[in-house]
Amino acid sequence: MTRQIFYNGSFIKAYIRLFFLCVILPVILLGGCGRKPVSLETTDEMFEQTQDNAEIYVFMFEDRIYTVDTIDEISTAAGESMKNGGFYKLTADVTYLNGGVAGYVNYPKIKRVSKCEEISPLELDLPDITKKRYGLCKIGDYADGDIFLNEYGKIAVWQDGAWIYRYEKEYDGEDGTLICCLRDVPEDTINAGVRDGVLSCREYFVVPPHDSGDASGGD
């Protein structure tokens, strides 16, 4: 007599699980012994463009050199002749970097400098100061000082060849202004000074609100 055996779903699943544990898994584990882990590498292409005798504008702040337009920190042997608070026009061979792991955007790598000329930042085409603008701005008749710097924690006021005020923090003030100040100055002190018409001093600087009619500031 022939016996017929019927397998239900649970039996089949149990058999497959046992087969995997006893046969397949040891093969996987043994096959992996001694193998180096797979490393996935990503590469970002770097683009370079060299320009000879290029003119680039820079300034020195706290013993570091920055470009005027993008406030990128750069390195150049010409820095030995620069001073804090100085603005300069360099004539140099420059390689502009774009892309790469660092994500450069027209970053100037200075090579040979043929000329380093000190200039006045008032001669540069800088925008007027408003809350929505960062980098270097002209203060004009708004408050004490000639040039205002606010970029990546570098907050200062320039006048007559020197950074006369430096600030450590900023926060939104009343009426759309931006308050830049020393870390330990109470807001009550600042508010009292503003009520008296003091917009710029050693303790704080009140950046005017953005002019909605000026498209260059943009929201």
DSSP code string of 93-109: EEEEEEETTTTEEEEEE
Choose between 127 and 43: higher pLDDT: 127
Coil, strand or helix at 29:
helix
- pLDDT over 60 (residue 32): no
| CA-wise closest residue to 147 among 124, 121, 178 | 121
- pLDDT over 60 (residue 34): no
Q: In angstroms, what CA-CA distances link 106 with 89, 96, 134, 143?
A: 18, 5, 18, 33
Digit-coded pLDDT (tens) for 187-217: 999 999 999 999 999 999 999 997 643 444 4
Digit-coded pLDDT (tens) for 80-139: 999 999 999 999 999 999 998 888 999 999 999 999 999 999 999 999 999 989 999 999
Q: What is the pLDDT of residue 91?
A: 98
Question: In the chain, what percentage of residues exceed pLDDT 90?
Answer: 71
| CA-wise closest residue to 148 among 194, 191, 133 | 133
Q: What is the pLDDT of residue 110?
A: 96
**To which H or E segment does residue 22 belong?**
none
Question: In the chain, what percentage of residues exceed pLDDT 70?
Answer: 76
Q: What is the pLDDT of residue 174?
A: 81
Q: What is the pLDDT of residue 102?
A: 86
Coil, strand or helix at 146:
coil
pTM: 0.75
